[in-house]
Structure 1
Amino acid sequence: MIPLDSQLPKIGTKDLEVKKWDQFNVKLVQTTIQIIFTEDNYIKYVQDGVILRMEQVIDTQKEPELLTNMEQIKHFQQQGKYGNNKKKIGKWITSWQGTVLNKIGGYYEDGLKQGLWNQIIKNFWSLAQVYESGEYFNDFKRGKWKFIYKNQIIGGGSYNEQGQRNGKWIELSEGFYNYSQITYKGEYKNGKKVGNWDIFWQKDFGDKLYQQIGGGSYDNQVDGDSIKIGKWTEFCDDFHSYLFGSKQVTYNGEYKNGKKIGIWMEIDRNIEVKEIQYDN
Protein backbone atom coordinates (compact mmCIF):
# COMPACT_ATOMS: atom_id res chain seq x y z
CA MET A 1 0.00 0.00 0.00
CA ILE A 2 1.13 3.56 -0.70
CA PRO A 3 -0.27 6.85 0.59
CA LEU A 4 -2.25 8.82 -1.94
CA ASP A 5 -0.14 11.73 -3.21
CA SER A 6 -1.66 14.98 -1.96
CA GLN A 7 -0.81 16.50 -5.37
CA LEU A 8 -3.27 14.20 -7.15
CA PRO A 9 -6.60 15.68 -8.28
CA LYS A 10 -9.60 14.73 -6.19
CA ILE A 11 -11.55 13.99 -9.36
CA GLY A 12 -10.03 12.34 -12.42
CA THR A 13 -8.00 9.36 -13.64
CA LYS A 14 -4.41 8.36 -12.99
CA ASP A 15 -2.24 5.45 -14.15
CA LEU A 16 -0.90 3.28 -11.35
CA GLU A 17 1.85 0.64 -11.51
CA VAL A 18 0.90 -2.50 -9.57
CA LYS A 19 2.52 -5.92 -9.12
CA LYS A 20 1.06 -9.21 -10.25
CA TRP A 21 2.33 -12.79 -10.24
CA ASP A 22 3.79 -14.04 -13.54
CA GLN A 23 3.94 -17.80 -13.11
CA PHE A 24 5.61 -18.36 -16.50
CA ASN A 25 8.59 -16.15 -15.58
CA VAL A 26 8.30 -17.04 -11.86
CA LYS A 27 8.30 -13.50 -10.49
CA LEU A 28 6.18 -10.50 -9.63
CA VAL A 29 5.96 -8.15 -12.59
CA GLN A 30 4.68 -4.60 -13.01
CA THR A 31 1.46 -3.89 -14.86
CA THR A 32 -0.45 -0.64 -15.36
CA ILE A 33 -4.03 -0.03 -14.25
CA GLN A 34 -6.11 3.12 -13.89
CA ILE A 35 -7.32 4.77 -10.70
CA ILE A 36 -10.49 6.83 -11.02
CA PHE A 37 -11.41 9.39 -8.34
CA THR A 38 -15.14 10.19 -8.47
CA GLU A 39 -17.15 13.21 -7.31
CA ASP A 40 -18.84 11.15 -4.60
CA ASN A 41 -15.50 10.15 -3.03
CA TYR A 42 -15.12 6.69 -4.54
CA ILE A 43 -11.85 5.20 -5.76
CA LYS A 44 -12.15 2.77 -8.66
CA TYR A 45 -9.38 0.39 -9.73
CA VAL A 46 -9.84 -0.29 -13.46
CA GLN A 47 -7.97 -2.42 -16.01
CA ASP A 48 -8.96 -2.66 -19.67
CA GLY A 49 -12.34 -1.16 -18.84
CA VAL A 50 -13.08 -3.71 -16.09
CA ILE A 51 -13.60 -2.44 -12.53
CA LEU A 52 -11.37 -4.55 -10.28
CA ARG A 53 -12.28 -2.79 -7.04
CA MET A 54 -14.35 0.15 -5.85
CA GLU A 55 -14.21 1.66 -2.38
CA GLN A 56 -15.60 4.78 -0.78
CA VAL A 57 -13.41 7.24 1.09
CA ILE A 58 -15.30 8.09 4.28
CA ASP A 59 -12.64 10.08 6.12
CA THR A 60 -11.86 12.69 3.47
CA GLN A 61 -9.48 14.56 5.79
CA LYS A 62 -7.02 11.66 5.81
CA GLU A 63 -5.16 10.60 2.69
CA PRO A 64 -6.33 7.13 1.62
CA GLU A 65 -3.81 4.43 0.76
CA LEU A 66 -3.65 2.90 -2.70
CA LEU A 67 -3.16 -0.86 -3.08
CA THR A 68 -0.27 -1.79 -5.38
CA ASN A 69 -0.60 -5.59 -5.47
CA MET A 70 -3.12 -7.13 -7.88
CA GLU A 71 -4.20 -9.84 -5.42
CA GLN A 72 -4.77 -7.27 -2.67
CA ILE A 73 -6.86 -5.18 -5.06
CA LYS A 74 -9.08 -8.20 -5.69
CA HIS A 75 -9.13 -9.97 -2.32
CA PHE A 76 -8.17 -7.66 0.58
CA GLN A 77 -10.89 -6.06 2.72
CA GLN A 78 -11.11 -4.33 6.10
CA GLN A 79 -14.31 -3.95 8.09
CA GLY A 80 -15.16 -1.74 11.04
CA LYS A 81 -17.10 1.30 12.21
CA TYR A 82 -16.85 5.06 11.73
CA GLY A 83 -17.71 7.65 14.34
CA ASN A 84 -19.94 10.68 13.89
CA ASN A 85 -16.91 12.62 12.67
CA LYS A 86 -16.37 10.00 9.89
CA LYS A 87 -13.17 8.69 11.46
CA LYS A 88 -12.48 5.03 12.16
CA ILE A 89 -13.25 3.86 15.70
CA GLY A 90 -13.19 0.61 17.64
CA LYS A 91 -12.06 -2.78 16.41
CA TRP A 92 -11.35 -3.36 12.73
CA ILE A 93 -10.91 -6.80 11.18
CA THR A 94 -9.29 -8.05 7.98
CA SER A 95 -10.60 -10.54 5.42
CA TRP A 96 -8.90 -12.24 2.49
CA GLN A 97 -10.83 -13.80 -0.38
CA GLY A 98 -14.00 -13.38 1.66
CA THR A 99 -12.66 -15.18 4.75
CA VAL A 100 -11.95 -13.28 7.99
CA LEU A 101 -8.32 -13.66 9.07
CA ASN A 102 -8.38 -14.70 12.72
CA LYS A 103 -6.48 -12.45 15.13
CA ILE A 104 -5.60 -9.98 12.32
CA GLY A 105 -6.64 -6.39 13.00
CA GLY A 106 -6.65 -3.89 15.84
CA TYR A 107 -8.30 -0.78 17.29
CA TYR A 108 -8.76 2.80 16.13
CA GLU A 109 -9.36 5.87 18.26
CA ASP A 110 -10.53 8.95 16.37
CA GLY A 111 -9.06 7.58 13.13
CA LEU A 112 -5.66 6.68 14.61
CA LYS A 113 -4.30 3.18 15.19
CA GLN A 114 -3.73 2.54 18.89
CA GLY A 115 -2.40 -0.35 20.96
CA LEU A 116 -1.60 -3.88 19.79
CA TRP A 117 -2.06 -4.59 16.09
CA ASN A 118 -1.63 -7.65 13.91
CA GLN A 119 -1.66 -6.73 10.23
CA ILE A 120 -0.64 -8.03 6.83
CA ILE A 121 2.67 -6.81 5.42
CA LYS A 122 2.75 -4.35 2.54
CA ASN A 123 3.46 -7.07 -0.05
CA PHE A 124 1.04 -9.70 1.29
CA TRP A 125 -0.43 -12.07 -1.32
CA SER A 126 -1.35 -15.76 -1.60
CA LEU A 127 2.29 -16.93 -1.73
CA ALA A 128 3.49 -14.37 0.81
CA GLN A 129 1.11 -14.66 3.75
CA VAL A 130 3.25 -12.81 6.26
CA TYR A 131 1.96 -10.72 9.17
CA GLU A 132 3.56 -8.12 11.38
CA SER A 133 2.68 -7.65 15.02
CA GLY A 134 3.39 -4.81 17.42
CA GLU A 135 2.07 -1.65 19.07
CA TYR A 136 0.84 1.66 17.68
CA PHE A 137 0.67 4.99 19.45
CA ASN A 138 -1.24 7.72 17.63
CA ASP A 139 -0.77 5.91 14.29
CA PHE A 140 3.01 5.49 14.77
CA LYS A 141 4.69 2.15 15.36
CA ARG A 142 6.71 1.99 18.55
CA GLY A 143 8.61 -0.60 20.57
CA LYS A 144 9.20 -4.16 19.37
CA TRP A 145 7.60 -5.47 16.16
CA LYS A 146 7.91 -8.94 14.68
CA PHE A 147 7.27 -10.64 11.34
CA ILE A 148 5.28 -13.89 11.49
CA TYR A 149 5.32 -16.49 8.71
CA LYS A 150 3.71 -19.92 8.99
CA ASN A 151 3.17 -19.29 12.73
CA GLN A 152 6.87 -18.64 13.31
CA ILE A 153 8.71 -15.40 14.06
CA ILE A 154 11.16 -14.84 11.20
CA GLY A 155 12.26 -11.26 11.86
CA GLY A 156 11.57 -7.87 13.32
CA GLY A 157 13.11 -5.20 15.51
CA SER A 158 12.27 -2.01 17.40
CA TYR A 159 10.92 1.45 16.60
CA ASN A 160 11.90 4.59 18.50
CA GLU A 161 9.53 7.26 19.84
CA GLN A 162 9.49 8.94 16.42
CA GLY A 163 8.28 5.77 14.70
CA GLN A 164 11.70 5.10 13.11
CA ARG A 165 13.40 1.73 12.98
CA ASN A 166 16.24 1.66 15.49
CA GLY A 167 18.79 -0.92 16.66
CA LYS A 168 19.18 -4.51 15.45
CA TRP A 169 16.71 -5.65 12.77
CA ILE A 170 15.88 -8.66 10.64
CA GLU A 171 13.71 -7.43 7.76
CA LEU A 172 12.19 -9.14 4.75
CA SER A 173 13.12 -8.54 1.14
CA GLU A 174 10.53 -6.60 -0.84
CA GLY A 175 9.82 -9.70 -2.93
CA PHE A 176 9.70 -12.19 -0.05
CA TYR A 177 7.43 -15.16 -0.81
CA ASN A 178 7.28 -18.93 -0.29
CA TYR A 179 10.00 -19.73 -2.82
CA SER A 180 12.16 -16.67 -2.23
CA GLN A 181 12.53 -16.40 1.55
CA ILE A 182 15.22 -13.72 1.68
CA THR A 183 15.91 -11.62 4.77
CA TYR A 184 18.35 -8.85 5.71
CA LYS A 185 20.08 -8.64 9.08
CA GLY A 186 21.72 -5.46 10.33
CA GLU A 187 21.31 -2.26 12.32
CA TYR A 188 19.25 0.92 12.02
CA LYS A 189 20.06 4.26 13.58
CA ASN A 190 17.07 6.60 13.71
CA GLY A 191 15.55 5.11 10.57
CA LYS A 192 18.79 4.76 8.57
CA LYS A 193 20.76 1.62 7.86
CA VAL A 194 24.30 1.68 9.27
CA GLY A 195 27.30 -0.63 9.24
CA ASN A 196 27.29 -4.22 7.98
CA TRP A 197 24.14 -5.87 6.65
CA ASP A 198 23.96 -9.57 5.82
CA ILE A 199 21.58 -11.26 3.36
CA PHE A 200 20.14 -14.69 4.15
CA TRP A 201 18.06 -17.19 2.17
CA GLN A 202 16.10 -20.28 3.13
CA LYS A 203 14.76 -22.97 0.79
CA ASP A 204 11.20 -23.97 1.60
CA PHE A 205 11.79 -27.70 1.67
CA GLY A 206 11.59 -28.29 5.40
CA ASP A 207 15.04 -26.80 6.01
CA LYS A 208 14.70 -24.28 8.87
CA LEU A 209 18.24 -22.93 8.56
CA TYR A 210 18.93 -19.72 6.68
CA GLN A 211 22.17 -19.59 4.69
CA GLN A 212 24.03 -16.36 4.03
CA ILE A 213 24.10 -15.45 0.34
CA GLY A 214 25.37 -11.88 0.46
CA GLY A 215 25.68 -8.56 2.17
CA GLY A 216 27.80 -5.44 2.51
CA SER A 217 28.06 -2.11 4.31
CA TYR A 218 26.17 1.18 4.51
CA ASP A 219 27.52 4.66 5.07
CA ASN A 220 25.23 6.77 7.24
CA GLN A 221 24.81 10.10 5.45
CA VAL A 222 24.12 12.99 7.84
CA ASP A 223 21.79 14.89 5.52
CA GLY A 224 20.45 12.03 3.42
CA ASP A 225 19.69 8.33 3.21
CA SER A 226 22.26 5.65 3.95
CA ILE A 227 24.23 4.57 0.86
CA LYS A 228 26.00 1.35 -0.04
CA ILE A 229 29.79 1.42 0.06
CA GLY A 230 32.62 -1.04 -0.50
CA LYS A 231 32.33 -4.72 -1.39
CA TRP A 232 28.82 -6.15 -1.80
CA THR A 233 27.21 -9.44 -2.76
CA GLU A 234 23.61 -8.99 -3.92
CA PHE A 235 20.93 -11.29 -5.34
CA CYS A 236 18.97 -10.97 -8.59
CA ASP A 237 15.43 -9.60 -8.50
CA ASP A 238 13.84 -12.98 -9.27
CA PHE A 239 16.05 -15.16 -7.05
CA HIS A 240 13.93 -18.22 -6.21
CA SER A 241 13.67 -21.98 -5.76
CA TYR A 242 10.24 -22.35 -7.38
CA LEU A 243 9.61 -26.00 -8.33
CA PHE A 244 12.02 -27.14 -11.09
CA GLY A 245 12.83 -23.69 -12.49
CA SER A 246 14.99 -22.36 -9.69
CA LYS A 247 17.09 -19.25 -10.32
CA GLN A 248 19.86 -18.47 -7.86
CA VAL A 249 22.01 -15.69 -9.26
CA THR A 250 24.13 -13.31 -7.16
CA TYR A 251 26.34 -10.35 -8.09
CA ASN A 252 29.71 -9.54 -6.48
CA GLY A 253 31.32 -6.14 -6.81
CA GLU A 254 31.98 -2.73 -5.33
CA TYR A 255 29.96 0.39 -4.54
CA LYS A 256 31.34 3.91 -4.37
CA ASN A 257 29.07 6.68 -3.05
CA GLY A 258 26.04 4.46 -3.57
CA LYS A 259 26.88 3.56 -7.20
CA LYS A 260 28.29 0.36 -8.68
CA ILE A 261 31.81 0.71 -10.09
CA GLY A 262 34.35 -1.50 -11.81
CA ILE A 263 33.88 -5.17 -12.63
CA TRP A 264 30.99 -7.12 -11.09
CA MET A 265 30.79 -10.90 -11.17
CA GLU A 266 27.46 -12.52 -12.02
CA ILE A 267 27.41 -15.89 -10.30
CA ASP A 268 24.81 -18.55 -10.99
CA ARG A 269 25.09 -20.78 -7.96
CA ASN A 270 24.34 -23.77 -10.18
CA ILE A 271 26.02 -22.95 -13.50
CA GLU A 272 28.55 -20.26 -14.38
CA VAL A 273 30.32 -16.97 -13.59
CA LYS A 274 30.11 -13.85 -15.78
CA GLU A 275 31.78 -10.43 -15.63
CA ILE A 276 29.81 -7.16 -15.83
CA GLN A 277 31.64 -3.82 -16.29
CA TYR A 278 30.23 -0.68 -14.58
CA ASP A 279 31.49 2.82 -15.31
CA ASN A 280 31.89 5.15 -12.34
Structure 2
Amino acid sequence: MQRQDLKTWLFLAPAGGWFLAMLVLPLIVVFVFSVGERGAAGGYVPAFTFENFASLGARWTAFQNTMILAPVGTLACVLIAYPLAYFLALRASVRWRTVLLILVIVPFWTSILIRSYAWIYLLGGQGIPSLLNALGLGNPRLINTPFAVLVGIVYGYLPLMVFPIYVALERLDKRLLEASSDLGCPPWRSFLQVTLPLSMPGVATGSMLVFILLMGEFLIPAMLGGGKVFFIGNALVDLFLQSRNWPFGAAVAVALVLVMLVTVAAYLRFTRRWAGGRDDVSLM
Protein backbone atom coordinates (compact mmCIF):
# COMPACT_ATOMS: atom_id res chain seq x y z
CA MET A 1 0.00 0.00 0.00
CA GLN A 2 2.82 2.40 0.84
CA ARG A 3 4.53 1.70 -2.50
CA GLN A 4 1.23 2.22 -4.29
CA ASP A 5 0.66 5.52 -2.48
CA LEU A 6 4.20 6.60 -3.37
CA LYS A 7 3.59 5.81 -7.04
CA THR A 8 0.34 7.78 -6.94
CA TRP A 9 2.08 10.81 -5.44
CA LEU A 10 4.86 10.57 -8.01
CA PHE A 11 2.34 10.53 -10.85
CA LEU A 12 0.45 13.49 -9.37
CA ALA A 13 3.56 15.52 -8.51
CA PRO A 14 4.12 17.07 -11.99
CA ALA A 15 0.49 18.11 -12.36
CA GLY A 16 0.37 19.33 -8.75
CA GLY A 17 3.55 21.36 -9.20
CA TRP A 18 2.22 22.89 -12.41
CA PHE A 19 -1.10 23.71 -10.72
CA LEU A 20 0.71 25.33 -7.80
CA ALA A 21 3.12 27.35 -9.96
CA MET A 22 0.66 28.45 -12.66
CA LEU A 23 -2.55 28.98 -10.69
CA VAL A 24 -2.17 29.14 -6.92
CA LEU A 25 0.97 31.29 -6.72
CA PRO A 26 -0.24 33.86 -9.30
CA LEU A 27 -3.53 34.17 -7.40
CA ILE A 28 -1.60 34.78 -4.18
CA VAL A 29 0.47 37.48 -5.91
CA VAL A 30 -2.68 39.13 -7.27
CA PHE A 31 -4.25 39.16 -3.81
CA VAL A 32 -1.09 40.67 -2.29
CA PHE A 33 -1.15 43.38 -4.97
CA SER A 34 -4.84 44.05 -4.28
CA VAL A 35 -4.14 45.18 -0.70
CA GLY A 36 -1.23 47.41 -1.74
CA GLU A 37 -1.09 50.99 -2.97
CA ARG A 38 -0.32 52.64 -6.28
CA GLY A 39 3.10 54.23 -6.54
CA ALA A 40 3.66 57.82 -7.61
CA ALA A 41 4.64 56.68 -11.10
CA GLY A 42 2.23 53.76 -11.09
CA GLY A 43 2.84 50.12 -10.29
CA TYR A 44 2.72 48.62 -6.82
CA VAL A 45 3.86 49.86 -3.42
CA PRO A 46 3.70 47.40 -0.47
CA ALA A 47 0.92 48.27 1.98
CA PHE A 48 -2.10 46.72 3.65
CA THR A 49 -5.37 48.44 2.81
CA PHE A 50 -8.79 47.46 1.54
CA GLU A 51 -9.46 50.81 -0.13
CA ASN A 52 -9.09 49.20 -3.54
CA PHE A 53 -11.98 46.84 -2.82
CA ALA A 54 -14.05 49.75 -1.49
CA SER A 55 -13.53 51.51 -4.85
CA LEU A 56 -14.84 48.64 -6.99
CA GLY A 57 -18.00 50.63 -7.66
CA ALA A 58 -15.97 52.86 -9.97
CA ARG A 59 -15.87 49.94 -12.41
CA TRP A 60 -19.50 48.94 -11.91
CA THR A 61 -20.34 49.41 -15.60
CA ALA A 62 -17.72 46.83 -16.61
CA PHE A 63 -19.03 44.37 -14.00
CA GLN A 64 -22.62 45.00 -15.08
CA ASN A 65 -21.90 44.49 -18.79
CA THR A 66 -19.94 41.32 -18.08
CA MET A 67 -22.52 39.83 -15.71
CA ILE A 68 -25.29 40.48 -18.25
CA LEU A 69 -23.67 39.67 -21.60
CA ALA A 70 -21.62 36.68 -20.41
CA PRO A 71 -24.66 34.65 -19.20
CA VAL A 72 -26.79 35.84 -22.13
CA GLY A 73 -24.02 34.92 -24.57
CA THR A 74 -23.63 31.52 -22.92
CA LEU A 75 -27.39 30.90 -23.13
CA ALA A 76 -27.45 31.98 -26.78
CA CYS A 77 -24.61 29.55 -27.52
CA VAL A 78 -26.56 26.73 -25.83
CA LEU A 79 -29.74 27.48 -27.78
CA ILE A 80 -27.88 27.50 -31.09
CA ALA A 81 -25.38 24.73 -30.37
CA TYR A 82 -27.80 22.14 -28.98
CA PRO A 83 -29.90 21.68 -32.16
CA LEU A 84 -26.71 21.62 -34.22
CA ALA A 85 -25.06 19.04 -31.96
CA TYR A 86 -28.29 17.02 -31.86
CA PHE A 87 -28.41 16.88 -35.66
CA LEU A 88 -24.73 15.94 -35.93
CA ALA A 89 -24.92 13.19 -33.30
CA LEU A 90 -28.34 11.65 -33.91
CA ARG A 91 -29.56 12.65 -37.35
CA ALA A 92 -26.61 13.19 -39.69
CA SER A 93 -25.34 10.19 -41.64
CA VAL A 94 -21.93 8.80 -40.76
CA ARG A 95 -20.72 9.78 -44.23
CA TRP A 96 -21.38 13.49 -43.70
CA ARG A 97 -20.78 13.71 -39.95
CA THR A 98 -17.02 14.18 -40.18
CA VAL A 99 -17.36 16.82 -42.89
CA LEU A 100 -19.89 18.78 -40.85
CA LEU A 101 -17.73 18.58 -37.73
CA ILE A 102 -14.79 19.95 -39.71
CA LEU A 103 -16.98 22.83 -40.89
CA VAL A 104 -17.72 23.65 -37.26
CA ILE A 105 -13.97 23.80 -36.56
CA VAL A 106 -13.08 25.82 -39.68
CA PRO A 107 -13.59 29.27 -38.04
CA PHE A 108 -10.89 28.38 -35.51
CA TRP A 109 -8.41 28.10 -38.37
CA THR A 110 -8.55 31.89 -38.74
CA SER A 111 -7.44 34.41 -36.13
CA ILE A 112 -10.22 35.83 -33.96
CA LEU A 113 -8.82 39.26 -34.85
CA ILE A 114 -9.52 38.78 -38.55
CA ARG A 115 -12.97 37.35 -37.86
CA SER A 116 -13.78 40.32 -35.63
CA TYR A 117 -12.74 42.71 -38.39
CA ALA A 118 -15.10 40.86 -40.73
CA TRP A 119 -17.96 41.41 -38.29
CA ILE A 120 -17.02 45.09 -37.99
CA TYR A 121 -17.65 45.41 -41.72
CA LEU A 122 -20.82 43.29 -41.67
CA LEU A 123 -22.36 45.21 -38.78
CA GLY A 124 -21.02 48.58 -39.90
CA GLY A 125 -22.76 51.19 -42.04
CA GLN A 126 -21.87 49.48 -45.34
CA GLY A 127 -22.88 46.00 -44.21
CA ILE A 128 -26.19 44.67 -42.88
CA PRO A 129 -27.61 48.14 -41.99
CA SER A 130 -27.07 49.25 -45.59
CA LEU A 131 -28.86 46.14 -46.89
CA LEU A 132 -31.78 46.69 -44.50
CA ASN A 133 -31.98 50.32 -45.60
CA ALA A 134 -32.08 49.27 -49.26
CA LEU A 135 -34.98 46.92 -48.44
CA GLY A 136 -36.86 49.76 -46.76
CA LEU A 137 -36.48 48.30 -43.26
CA GLY A 138 -34.67 51.28 -41.78
CA ASN A 139 -31.02 51.88 -41.04
CA PRO A 140 -30.39 50.50 -37.54
CA ARG A 141 -27.10 51.03 -35.74
CA LEU A 142 -25.58 47.63 -35.03
CA ILE A 143 -21.87 48.20 -34.56
CA ASN A 144 -20.56 49.49 -31.19
CA THR A 145 -23.61 48.12 -29.37
CA PRO A 146 -24.24 45.26 -26.92
CA PHE A 147 -25.93 43.42 -29.81
CA ALA A 148 -22.72 43.52 -31.85
CA VAL A 149 -20.73 42.18 -28.89
CA LEU A 150 -23.29 39.40 -28.41
CA VAL A 151 -23.04 38.43 -32.09
CA GLY A 152 -19.26 38.27 -31.81
CA ILE A 153 -19.52 36.18 -28.66
CA VAL A 154 -21.84 33.61 -30.23
CA TYR A 155 -19.79 33.43 -33.41
CA GLY A 156 -16.48 33.11 -31.59
CA TYR A 157 -17.46 30.65 -28.87
CA LEU A 158 -20.10 28.47 -30.55
CA PRO A 159 -17.69 25.59 -31.41
CA LEU A 160 -16.68 25.33 -27.74
CA MET A 161 -20.34 24.69 -26.93
CA VAL A 162 -21.09 22.36 -29.83
CA PHE A 163 -18.44 19.71 -29.18
CA PRO A 164 -19.16 18.88 -25.49
CA ILE A 165 -22.87 18.57 -26.28
CA TYR A 166 -22.09 16.50 -29.38
CA VAL A 167 -19.91 14.10 -27.37
CA ALA A 168 -22.65 13.67 -24.74
CA LEU A 169 -25.30 13.01 -27.39
CA GLU A 170 -23.06 10.77 -29.49
CA ARG A 171 -22.46 8.52 -26.45
CA LEU A 172 -26.18 8.28 -25.75
CA ASP A 173 -27.44 4.71 -25.75
CA LYS A 174 -29.86 4.65 -28.71
CA ARG A 175 -31.67 1.68 -27.17
CA LEU A 176 -33.11 4.02 -24.54
CA LEU A 177 -34.79 6.07 -27.26
CA GLU A 178 -36.07 2.90 -28.93
CA ALA A 179 -37.46 1.65 -25.60
CA SER A 180 -39.14 5.00 -24.99
CA SER A 181 -40.75 4.85 -28.41
CA ASP A 182 -41.89 1.24 -27.88
CA LEU A 183 -43.53 2.27 -24.61
CA GLY A 184 -45.63 4.83 -26.46
CA CYS A 185 -43.81 8.03 -25.57
CA PRO A 186 -44.10 10.75 -28.22
CA PRO A 187 -40.80 12.16 -29.52
CA TRP A 188 -41.04 15.37 -27.48
CA ARG A 189 -41.49 13.43 -24.25
CA SER A 190 -38.60 11.08 -25.07
CA PHE A 191 -36.46 14.14 -25.66
CA LEU A 192 -37.42 15.79 -22.36
CA GLN A 193 -37.17 12.66 -20.22
CA VAL A 194 -34.32 10.76 -21.89
CA THR A 195 -32.19 12.78 -24.30
CA LEU A 196 -32.03 16.11 -22.50
CA PRO A 197 -31.19 14.80 -18.99
CA LEU A 198 -28.51 12.46 -20.32
CA SER A 199 -26.95 15.27 -22.36
CA MET A 200 -26.84 17.74 -19.46
CA PRO A 201 -23.20 16.91 -18.60
CA GLY A 202 -22.23 18.10 -22.08
CA VAL A 203 -24.35 21.23 -21.70
CA ALA A 204 -22.77 21.94 -18.32
CA THR A 205 -19.25 21.43 -19.66
CA GLY A 206 -19.81 23.63 -22.71
CA SER A 207 -21.48 26.32 -20.62
CA MET A 208 -18.59 26.41 -18.17
CA LEU A 209 -16.04 26.63 -20.99
CA VAL A 210 -17.85 29.51 -22.65
CA PHE A 211 -18.87 31.36 -19.48
CA ILE A 212 -15.45 31.28 -17.84
CA LEU A 213 -13.74 32.51 -20.99
CA LEU A 214 -16.34 35.23 -21.49
CA MET A 215 -15.82 36.58 -18.00
CA GLY A 216 -12.27 37.55 -18.99
CA GLU A 217 -13.01 38.43 -22.62
CA PHE A 218 -11.26 41.53 -23.95
CA LEU A 219 -10.92 41.49 -27.74
CA ILE A 220 -14.56 41.12 -28.83
CA PRO A 221 -15.91 43.98 -26.64
CA ALA A 222 -12.96 46.17 -27.63
CA MET A 223 -13.50 45.70 -31.38
CA LEU A 224 -17.25 45.23 -31.76
CA GLY A 225 -18.15 47.41 -28.77
CA GLY A 226 -16.02 50.29 -30.01
CA GLY A 227 -15.06 51.43 -26.53
CA LYS A 228 -18.73 51.79 -25.56
CA VAL A 229 -19.31 48.27 -24.21
CA PHE A 230 -16.71 47.51 -21.55
CA PHE A 231 -16.09 44.09 -20.03
CA ILE A 232 -14.02 43.45 -16.92
CA GLY A 233 -11.22 42.30 -19.21
CA ASN A 234 -11.17 45.76 -20.80
CA ALA A 235 -11.08 47.36 -17.36
CA LEU A 236 -8.13 45.18 -16.34
CA VAL A 237 -6.18 46.10 -19.47
CA ASP A 238 -6.84 49.77 -18.78
CA LEU A 239 -5.83 49.56 -15.12
CA PHE A 240 -2.67 47.52 -15.64
CA LEU A 241 -1.38 48.92 -18.93
CA GLN A 242 -2.82 52.43 -19.26
CA SER A 243 -3.27 53.97 -15.80
CA ARG A 244 -0.77 51.52 -14.23
CA ASN A 245 -2.93 51.22 -11.12
CA TRP A 246 -1.86 47.67 -10.34
CA PRO A 247 -3.41 47.42 -6.85
CA PHE A 248 -6.84 48.50 -8.05
CA GLY A 249 -6.54 46.24 -11.09
CA ALA A 250 -5.62 43.34 -8.81
CA ALA A 251 -8.66 44.08 -6.63
CA VAL A 252 -10.88 43.99 -9.72
CA ALA A 253 -9.27 40.66 -10.71
CA VAL A 254 -9.86 39.19 -7.24
CA ALA A 255 -13.49 40.31 -7.35
CA LEU A 256 -13.83 38.72 -10.80
CA VAL A 257 -12.44 35.41 -9.55
CA LEU A 258 -14.83 35.41 -6.58
CA VAL A 259 -17.82 36.18 -8.80
CA MET A 260 -16.82 33.37 -11.15
CA LEU A 261 -16.41 30.87 -8.31
CA VAL A 262 -19.84 31.70 -6.85
CA THR A 263 -21.54 31.67 -10.26
CA VAL A 264 -19.95 28.43 -11.41
CA ALA A 265 -20.72 26.68 -8.12
CA ALA A 266 -24.36 27.80 -8.25
CA TYR A 267 -24.69 26.73 -11.89
CA LEU A 268 -23.19 23.29 -11.31
CA ARG A 269 -25.44 22.72 -8.32
CA PHE A 270 -28.49 23.72 -10.34
CA THR A 271 -27.62 21.49 -13.30
CA ARG A 272 -26.96 18.48 -11.05
CA ARG A 273 -30.26 18.94 -9.22
CA TRP A 274 -32.13 19.45 -12.49
CA ALA A 275 -30.61 16.38 -14.11
CA GLY A 276 -31.26 14.32 -11.00
CA GLY A 277 -34.82 15.53 -10.80
CA ARG A 278 -35.43 14.68 -14.44
CA ASP A 279 -33.99 11.21 -13.91
CA ASP A 280 -36.31 10.71 -10.96
CA VAL A 281 -39.28 11.79 -13.06
CA SER A 282 -38.30 9.50 -15.93
CA LEU A 283 -38.01 6.57 -13.55
CA MET A 284 -41.51 7.22 -12.31
Query: TM-score interval w.r.t. the shorter chain?
Result: under 0.3
**Which structure is larger by alpha-carbon Rg, 1 or 2?**
2
Normalised TM-score (structure 1): 0.18
TM-score scaled to structure 2, two decimals?
Answer: 0.18
Higher relative helix content: 2
